Amino acid sequence: MEIAGAHAIVTGGASGLGRATASRLVARGAQVFILDLPSSDGAAAARDLGQSAHFLPVDVTSVEQVSAAVAAASSGGPLRIVANCAGVATPGKLVGRDGPLALEAFMKVVEINLGGTVNVAAQAASVMRQNEPVGGERGVIVNTASVAGYEGQIGQVAYASSKGGVIALTLPLARELADALIRVMTIAPGVFETPMMAGLPTEAQESLGGKTPHPRRLGRPDEYAALLEHIVENPMLNGETIRLDGALRLDPR
Active site residue 159: yes
Asked if the structure places residue 208 within a domain, the reply is yes
**What local confidence, expressed as pLDDT, does residue 199 receive?**
65
Per-residue pLDDT of the chain (253 residues; tens, 9 = 90+): 999 999 999 999 999 999 999 999 999 999 999 999 999 999 999 999 999 999 999 999 999 999 999 999 999 999 999 999 999 999 999 999 999 999 999 999 999 999 999 999 999 999 999 999 999 999 999 999 999 999 999 999 999 999 999 999 999 999 999 999 999 999 999 999 988 777 666 776 777 788 999 999 999 999 999 999 999 999 999 999 999 999 999 999 8
Task: Please check whether residue 173 lies inside any domain of the structure.
Answer: yes
pLDDT at position 110: 98
pLDDT at 200: 64
Instruction: Please pick, among 55, 159, 192, 224, the residue that the annotation labels catalytic.
Output: 159
Q: 218 in a domain, yes or no?
A: yes
Residue 75 lies in a domain: yes
Asked if the structure places residue 228 within a domain, the reply is yes
Of 5, 13, 21, the closest CA to residue 226 belongs to 21
Phi, psi of 62 (to 5 degrees): -95, 115
- Which residue range is the domain that position 86 belongs to? 7-244
- In the chain, how many domains are there? 1
59 within domain boundaries: yes
Q: Which residues contact 5 (CB under 8 A, 6 or more apart)?
A: 29, 30, 31, 77
Note whether residue 252 is domain-resident: no
pLDDT (0 to 100) of residue 154: 94
Bin 99: left if φ > 0, else alpha if -120 < ψ < 50, else beta: left
The whole model's pTM is what? 0.96
Question: Is 253 a member of any domain?
Answer: no
* Residue 210, domain CATH: 3.40.50.720
